[in-house]
Amino acid sequence: MNKTLPVKALPDFSLYEKRFKALADQKRLHLLSLLCQQGATCVCDLTEVLDLPQSKLSYHLKILLDADLILKEKRGTWNYYTIHSDVINHLLSEELCCLLRPADS
């Protein structure tokens, strides 16, 4: 006899997928680490510290911005980037862990 278990509605994982894909790169993790250490940082300083051409840095910043993991603030002609703490804290929270924890735990 095959027992059918009730199926709960699954949460929308697309946002998590986008954020974890953004985190799945060493350069972007290094970038996030720098922003955590330094706070608001000018894009001009990031290019120098990461030893990346501006085009590559822009590519990585766009992925992090699109995933809402960082914030951008324009000051004059320069853009300054910071960690989006609320989003990062949410990703590292018990809430997400509970979504992925086996039911019998």
The parent domain of residue 49 ranges over 25-100
* The residue type at 27: K
Backbone phi and psi for residue 23, each to the nearest 5 degrees, phi listed first = -80, -15
Higher pLDDT, residue 92 or 81:
81
Averaged pLDDT score across all residues of the chain: 85
80 in any annotated domain: yes
CA atoms of 94 and 100, how far apart (whole Å):
10
pLDDT tens digits for 18-65?
A: 999 999 999 999 999 999 999 999 988 888 888 889 899 999 999 999
What is the CATH classification number for the domain harbouring 30?
Answer: 1.10.10.10
Instruction: Report how far Cα 8 is from the mean position of its chain's Cα atoms.
Output: 27
Contact 87, 93 (CB under 8 A): no
68 in any annotated domain: yes
Q: What is the pTM of this model?
A: 0.79
How many domains does the chain divide into? 1
90 CB burial (10 A radius; 0-12, 13-18, 19+): middle
pLDDT at 11: 72
User: H or E segment at 10?
Assistant: none
